[in-house]
Amino acid sequence: MKRCLQLLILPAIYILTLVLSGCESKTKIGFLMDNTNLERWKKDKELFEKTAKDLKAVPIVKVANSDPELQYQQALELIDEGVDVIVLIPCDINKAIKIVKVAHANNIPVISYDRLVKNCNVDYYISTDNIYLGELQADYLSKISPVGNFALISGPTTDNNAFLIHLGWMNVLQPLIDKGDIKVVIDKHTDFWLPDESYKIMKNFFKNGGKVDAILCGNDALASGAILALKEFGYDGRVLVAGQDADMNAIRNIVAGTQTITIYKPIESLVYATVEAAKKLAKGEAPSNMNITVNNGKRLVPAILIKNIQPINRHNIEMNIIPKGYLKKTEQ
């Protein structure tokens, strides 16, 4: 009899547990993206949606097409849709402050994703060490060309990373500039992280008879614009060029010898750490994975700076890129 009861009760408990866990409300994570016009952001979007689902959360993604006002409206929509946490890639570091404020007014924490929102009480920041990233780029080029003319093309002033990367460049270059070995012949910000502006900057420079030995660019799209101008003037392959993001096009340029280096960022780790932190926050717990604090001008923001960023050059492509599934060996 006892055995009979057991046979009936145990499956019933099992079914009840399954039903109850199915009813448990899932964490809703809002993801406000600046744009998806570059390969890397498409990857962030895809991985974010997949990882959130894998970790039993509901991702709600909105893309602002580089429009800070639209991004604010999208934040309001996310609040209406009842998200537990907002993950924010700001279109504009200053204009995004009001997104953090309105989220907080609705008791929703905000994680600054790969771009820090400055001068506000943003809750967490998850990125890589962008100063170190700039140092890696400058170090690589200045080891090959310790003497010569350098062009610096940073991304937009609306993105804190553009300043951090530039800081990294200067950490390496300043002693060489002071020695008189390196001369900075161009030092400009662009309005967007896109190739047309870097193309125009370099084209104008060459038209006016400018000579350059190395071009440091904030990302691969800027590098590709610079390479286009180099090609037009027949300098491609003879000038060092650095970018970041390990875009397919950059990898091809490295194989072809027109780009010297890119920096690969582990997007998978950024996304995973973010979704993990968001899930904790939704339960009212502090994320346990923060490993540093970063000053945003208003507070020391608890942060994760993912360490394993990787310089990619023509010698280590095979080891680094092909195993990650970026490029098939035959595509080289």
Binding residues for ligand GAL, rule: CB under 6 A, are 38, 40, 114-115, 155, 159, 161, 193, 219, 244-245
Separation of alpha carbons 224 and 226, rounded Å: 5
CB of 329 to ligand GAL, least distance (A): 26
Q: Please, which contacts does 166-169 make with residues 24 or more away whose CB atoms are closer than 8 Å? A: 166/134, 166/218, 167/131, 167/134, 168/130, 168/131, 168/132, 168/133, 168/134, 168/135, 168/136, 168/137, 168/138, 169/134, 169/135, 169/137, 169/138, 169/216
Contacts of 251 (CB under 8 A, 6+ apart): 262, 312, 317, 321, 326, 327
Q: Which is nearer to ligand GAL, 230 or 270 (CB)?
A: 270
Q: Which is nearer to ligand GAL, 115 or 166 (CB)?
A: 115
CB of 20 to ligand GAL, least distance (A): 42
CB of 35 to ligand GAL, least distance (A): 7
CB of 12 to ligand GAL, least distance (A): 53
CB of 38 to ligand GAL, least distance (A): 5
For residues 305 and 291, the answer to whether their CB atoms sit within 8 Å is yes
Q: Which is nearer to ligand GAL, 28 or 115 (CB)?
A: 115
Q: Which is nearer to ligand GAL, 27 or 161 (CB)?
A: 161
Q: How buried is 23 (Cβ within 10 angstroms: 0-12 exposed, 13-18 middle, 19+ buried)?
A: exposed
Q: Which is nearer to ligand GAL, 114 or 236 (CB)?
A: 114
